């Protein structure tokens, strides 16, 4: 009987190739929480998308004009296991894949995978980290690094497993990750330090503009216990998760509003002393956790997102008090979504200045000049950008 969890991986691959065809930039991830072997299936998932460039190149060498999406998805699924699942014998990788194939493809899938398996020791020697990222992405970063070795190091770290910490919500300190710890919240360090940048700001009224699932909101709540915090998110399901976390961690100074930030109206409410704007972005800095993103984003997506982010910053500038602060952040290292957005905003709003806080407890590697900028191979985290802006009007 075919493995139902591998079948779900196959369905996911089919969705991925259809997404590429129809221009979709989103793939619904499967966490396999209903499987007793969740780690195995998640490992297969990660290995597929972290090594997809290599896998597809091998398939072009062993097949001709592979246009059938189901056949391609089956071969990617099988090949990824042959090369990158050392704990599964090759024969099992092949047999389990063939079981998933329709009758008309079984012989082809079986023969192709066996041929690849026989030659895998030679084939793996041609592996290059660069081929596992889109050409435009590699070229873009090659122009920013001084040598090829650092570029490879940068790309390799994006292909490593993500590192999480448990953030102690009482002391606001990172600790070794413990699953389901009662007073700890799992976060990437780069994400945790962003709200901590506001630690020296006296704020009585705070907005977290795109708050779900709530990690940064919880940090703000503990960091500014006397402030009234408004946590906004337009997605109702994500708002429910936010509400759950706020209740779980007793963040009593937080009120939740299920609304689009761009449509938010102050009404009779006063402006905010601090706005955390964790803006929508391409998410390219989170490739450790979401390796498929690299294959679903384009240079055009970055430009479109930057235009959207400009609107968010302009909206925030209308809601912040004189002398107040905007803490802008994105989980992307692309200049168009970070430095360029900030510089364009300041050019149009000269009353806003970049404020450089001095935080001795955040390692210096997390900063680049005036900006918070986490290169994964230096910080061992996701890739984030942040800037603290002060309204000097």
Catalytic residue ranges: 331
- Ligand-binding site membership of 216 (annotated): yes
Across the strands, what pairs with 254? Answer: 229
214 is in an annotated binding site: yes
149 marked as binding residue: no
Residue 210 known to bind ligand: yes
Is position 338 annotated in a ligand binding site?
no
Residue 145, burial from CB neighbour count under 10 angstroms (0-12, 13-18, 19+) = middle
What does the DSSP assignment read for 29-59?
----TT-TTHHHHHHHHHHHHHSHHHHHHHH
212 is in an annotated binding site: yes
Both tokens of residue 329? 């952040």
Interior angle at CA 128, CA 7 and CA 130, nearest 5: 90
Structure tokens at 277: 């704007």
* 350 annotated ligand binder: no
Question: How far is residue 271's CA from residue 269's CA, in Å, rounded to a whole number?
Answer: 7
What are the φ/ψ torsions at residue 27 (nearest 5 degrees)? -130, 125
Its sign, for the CA torsion 234, 239, 241, 247, is positive
- For 237, residues 6+ apart whose C-beta sits below 8 A from its C-beta are none
- Known binding residues: 210-216, 233, 260, 278
Point out the annotated binding site for S-adenosyl-L-methionine: 210-216, 233, 260, 278
């Amino acid at each position: 009987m075919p493995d139902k969890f591998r079948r779900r991986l196959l369905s996911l691959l089919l969705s991925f190739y259809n997404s590429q065809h129809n221009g979709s930039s989103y793939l619904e991830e499967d966490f396999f929480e209903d499987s007793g072997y969740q780690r195995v299936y998640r490992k297969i998932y990660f290995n597929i998308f972290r090594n997809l460039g290599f896998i597809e190149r091998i398939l072009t060498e062993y097949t001709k004009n592979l246009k059938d999406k189901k056949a391609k998805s089956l071969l990617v699924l099988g090949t990824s296991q042959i090369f990158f699942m050392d704990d599964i014998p090759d024969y099992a990788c092949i047999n389990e894949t063939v079981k998933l194939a329709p009758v008309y493809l079984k012989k082809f899938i079986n023969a192709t995978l066996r041929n690849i398996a026989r030659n895998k020791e030679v084939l793996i020697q041609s592996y290059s980290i660069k081929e596992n990222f889109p050409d435009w992405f590699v070229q873009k970063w090659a122009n920013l690094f001084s040598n090829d070795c650092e570029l490879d190091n940068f790309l390799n770290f994006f292909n490593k497993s993500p590192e999480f910490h448990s953030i102690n919500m009482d002391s606001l300190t990172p600790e070794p990750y413990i699953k389901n710890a009662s007073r700890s919240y799992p976060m990437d360090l780069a994400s945790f330090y962003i709200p901590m940048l506001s630690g020296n700001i006296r704020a009585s009224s705070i907005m977290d503009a795109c708050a779900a699932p709530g990690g940064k909101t919880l940090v703000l709540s503990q960091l500014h216990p006397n402030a009234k915090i408004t946590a906004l998110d337009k997605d109702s399901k994500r708002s429910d998760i936010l509400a759950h976390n706020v209740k779980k961690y007793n963040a009593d100074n937080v009120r939740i509003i299920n609304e689009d930030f761009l449509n938010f109206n102050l009404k009779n409410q006063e402006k905010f002393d601090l706005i955390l704007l964790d803006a929508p972005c391409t998410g390219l800095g989170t490739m450790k956790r979401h390796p498929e993103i690299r294959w679903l984003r384009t240079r055009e997506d970055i430009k479109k997102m930057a235009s959207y982010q400009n609107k968010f910053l302009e909206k925030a500038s209308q809601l912040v008090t004189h002398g107040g602060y905007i803490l802008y952040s994105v989980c992307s290292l692309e200049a168009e979504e970070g430095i360029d957005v900030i510089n364009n905003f300041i050019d149009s709003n000269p009353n806003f200045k970049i404020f450089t806080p001095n935080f001795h407890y955040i390692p210096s590697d997390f900063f680049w000049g005036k900006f918070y900028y986490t290169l994964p191979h230096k910080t061992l985290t996701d890739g984030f950008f942040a800037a603290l802006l002060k309204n000097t009007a």
